[in-house]
Copies of this chain bind each other. A is one copy, B any other.
Amino acid sequence: MSQEQPPFERPGAMVEIVRLELPPPDLKDNTGDFDRLARALEKRGYFPLRVEYSLLDGAVRRIRSQGYRLAAVLGYDRFCWKLLEVLLPEYAGPVLGVAVDLGTTGISFQLVDFNGRETPDRMSVPNPQIRLGEDILTRILHARGKENLLELQRLLIEIFNRTIREMLDRRGWDPGCVYALGVAGNTAMSHFFLGLDPSGICKEPYIPSANRFPVCRGAELGLVVHPEALVTVFPNVGAYFGGDLIAGILASGMNRSEHVQILVDVGTNAEVVLGNRDWMLACAGAAGPALEGGAIERGMMALPGAIDRVRIDPSTLEPSWHVLGEGKPAGICGSGVVDLVAEMFAAGILTVQGKIDLSAGAPGIIETPECRAYELVRPEESADGRGIAVSEIDIGIFLKSKAAMYTILSVMIRKVGLDFGDIERFFVAGTFGNHIDPGMAVRIGMLPDLPLETYCGLGNSSLRGAEMLLRDRSLAEETERVCRLITYVELNVSAELLNEFSGALFLPHTDPRLFPSVKPYAGRRTNG
């Protein structure tokens, strides 16, 4: 047995390529050919080495036909190394991994080449399950019959296969050179992907079939990748705290920080993790829809056509905006709404209660039978010829979301006896986090009033975490450790919580001492 370090202490990727020239067999050394390879690999620290039955015969035949010169593709499987393929020693082609963010709405893929090549290739596609249910709950109900569950799974496998093929075709590569997948999804999506009964996720007491999933082989799942490819699905810590967030924690690095940090991921739910390398408190709440651009009449996802930034000139009160992609605006996404509300508030168009104040004299105020609205985009400027307006009703919905977010944050902070000043770093993940302007979010009282450099947008943190796992196998162990570290708290409806929430419904808050940097509206500044 090797005296070298155990593999999990040697840094390196989930897949390694080891080039070897084995001593050819002779009468003095009649070790079997697979054992000859295993011996050489174990000497280099790849111990214990295993091989699937399905690969063994082909591997030995290749070792022999190549005259005992080879490049062994090895995969790391937590308890052992696995021989995944035997290639020619001079093989310089791709040896790939695919990181996947398996989202409810969209799925993102990122290539990784373990053979040294740069592969910035990334591709995102809509989740094809949408036609069986927009939201997770509908899909979980659809999956009641095993047939339907397998249909949901098949849709995912098919889109994986199609997308991986398309990404590789561009470079003339074969899907068989994909040897590892790292898949991060919420708990329900992970269940769909593995064909596991999701029924426990949506009903009390909210129990997943499994928190940790077995490492599967590509062939078992029907993927077009190498049949022996190791498919790692991130573990979850409960129905409402999925592998996507675990991956997000890895991406933030808060699991290795000695200082207290916060990670907020705004998707369908708002998920919050508070902690450091020694402890973590997690919580999920229904703060999301309005923040992600849903619920509001002209709201939309942060896709081309969405207004993602808004400014209102404090002197002229003329609005300006930025549209994602090219072309005219079709709606407004979460970060656009944050900006809009913050700017309307700063310009005196919105009151502390979130009502439109006619006395500001701003252009674009519309009176509807129900309430007032602010028309940001005139009909002739928009993609569909309809003006893009945000009503007081929309703003009311939005304020509930932002209040929920702030409430979750402050309740959690108090739970551990800290206050916001103790937060060293505040990560905002997700599409929302990528676009949001922290200054604006502070101004409306959605995020706490911390120095702006504390805030850090993470982008697609679950995709990044999945990619990190492929590039650094020590994170497989670390992932399990993070799961054990997390204490998941249910925010039960209590008087304290309702009180907190009510205060946070205002702009920025009923207690202005919580937001010292947000100056109250002091009247219109004019050019003169």
Chain A residues in the interface with B (C-beta under 8 A): 25-27, 30-35, 38, 48, 50-54, 56-57, 60-61, 64, 79-80, 194-197, 200, 204-214, 216-217, 220-221, 236, 238-239, 488, 490
Give the residues in chain B near A209, CB-CB below 8 Å: 32-34, 56-57, 60
Q: Quick check: B30 and A238 within 8 Å, CB to CB?
A: yes
In the complex, residue of chain B having the shortest beta-carbon distance to the beta carbon of A196: B57
Cβ-neighbour of A239 out of B30, B196, B220 (below 8 A):
B30
Q: A50-B214, A197-B61 are in contact. Are A33 and B204 (CB under 8 A)?
A: no
Q: Quick check: A32 and B214 within 8 Å, CB to CB?
A: no
Give the residues in chain B near A221, CB-CB below 8 Å: 53
Q: A53-B194, A220-B54 are in contact. Are A208 and B33 (CB under 8 A)?
A: yes
Cβ-neighbour of A206 out of B30, B57, B64, B216 (below 8 A):
B30
Give the residues in chain B near A31, CB-CB below 8 Å: 207, 211
Give the residues in chain B near A211, CB-CB below 8 Å: 31-32, 34-35
Give the residues in chain B near A197, CB-CB below 8 Å: 57, 60-61, 64
Q: Quick check: B34 and A205 within 8 Å, CB to CB?
A: no
The majority secondary structure among interface residues of chain A is loop
Complex A-B: 11 CB contacts under 8 Å: A25-B200, A25-B207, A30-B206, A32-B212, A33-B210, A34-B211, A35-B211, A53-B216, A53-B217, A53-B220, A79-B80
Give the residues in chain B near A200, CB-CB below 8 Å: 25, 33, 64
Q: Quick check: A32 and B216 within 8 Å, CB to CB?
A: no
Q: Quick check: A32 and B207 within 8 Å, CB to CB?
A: yes
Give the residues in chain B near A27, CB-CB below 8 Å: 204-206, 490
In the assembled complex, the Cα of A282 lies from the Cα of B485 at a distance in Å of 54
Q: List 7 additional A-B contacts (Cβ < 8 Å) besides A27-B490, A32-B210, A38-B212.
A: A25-B205, A31-B211, A32-B208, A34-B209, A34-B212, A56-B210, A57-B197
Give the residues in chain B near A26, CB-CB below 8 Å: 205
Q: A25-B207, A53-B220, A216-B53 are in contact. Are A79 and B48 (CB under 8 A)?
A: yes
Give the residues in chain B near A80, CB-CB below 8 Å: 79
In the assembled complex, the Cα of A54 lies from the Cα of B30 at a distance in Å of 37
In the assembled complex, the Cα of A221 lies from the Cα of B206 at a distance in Å of 39
Give the residues in chain B near A56, CB-CB below 8 Å: 194, 196, 209-210, 213-214
Q: A25-B207, A32-B210, A211-B35 are in contact. Are A195 and B57 (CB under 8 A)?
A: yes
In the assembled complex, the Cα of A212 lies from the Cα of B31 at a distance in Å of 10
In the assembled complex, the Cα of A220 lies from the Cα of B52 at a distance in Å of 10
Give the residues in chain B near A195, CB-CB below 8 Å: 57
In the complex, residue of chain B having the shortest beta-carbon distance to the beta carbon of A199: B64
Give the residues in chain B near A57, CB-CB below 8 Å: 194-197, 209
Cβ-neighbour of A214 out of B51, B212, B216 (below 8 A):
B51
Give the residues in chain B near A34, CB-CB below 8 Å: 209-212
In the assembled complex, the Cα of A64 lies from the Cα of B198 at a distance in Å of 12
Give the residues in chain B near A220, CB-CB below 8 Å: 53-54
Closest 5 CB pairs of A and B: A32-B211, A34-B210, A32-B208, A60-B209, A25-B207
In the assembled complex, the Cα of A79 lies from the Cα of B50 at a distance in Å of 10
Q: What's the least CB distance linking A84 to chain B, in Å?
A: 14
In the assembled complex, the Cα of A375 lies from the Cα of B424 at a distance in Å of 102
Q: Quick check: A207 and B33 within 8 Å, CB to CB?
A: yes
In the assembled complex, the Cα of A310 lies from the Cα of B30 at a distance in Å of 43
In the assembled complex, the Cα of A216 lies from the Cα of B52 at a distance in Å of 8
Q: What's the least CB distance linking A211 to chain B, in Å?
A: 4
Q: Quick check: B236 and A32 within 8 Å, CB to CB?
A: yes
In the assembled complex, the Cα of A136 lies from the Cα of B239 at a distance in Å of 58
Give the residues in chain B near A35, CB-CB below 8 Å: 210-212
Name the residue among A50, A194, A197, A214 with the largest chain B CB count within 10 angstroms: A214
Q: What's the least CB distance linking A520 to chain B, in Å?
A: 43
In the assembled complex, the Cα of A22 lies from the Cα of B396 at a distance in Å of 46
Q: What's the least CB distance linking A494 to chain B, in Å?
A: 15
In the assembled complex, the Cα of A239 lies from the Cα of B236 at a distance in Å of 48
Q: What's the least CB distance linking A6 to chain B, in Å?
A: 13
Name the residue among A32, A195, A214, A236 with the largest chain B CB count within 10 angstroms: A32
Cβ-neighbour of A79 out of B79, B204, B236, B488 (below 8 A):
B79
In the assembled complex, the Cα of A140 lies from the Cα of B53 at a distance in Å of 20
Q: What's the least CB distance linking A477 to chain B, in Å?
A: 12
Give the residues in chain B near A214, CB-CB below 8 Å: 50-53, 56
In the assembled complex, the Cα of A35 lies from the Cα of B27 at a distance in Å of 50
In the assembled complex, the Cα of A490 lies from the Cα of B79 at a distance in Å of 37
In the complex, residue of chain B having the shortest beta-carbon distance to the beta carbon of A214: B53
In the complex, residue of chain B having the shortest beta-carbon distance to the beta carbon of A490: B27
Q: What's the least CB distance linking A397 to chain B, in Å?
A: 29
Give the residues in chain B near A54, CB-CB below 8 Å: 220
In the assembled complex, the Cα of A206 lies from the Cα of B29 at a distance in Å of 10
In the assembled complex, the Cα of A64 lies from the Cα of B196 at a distance in Å of 13
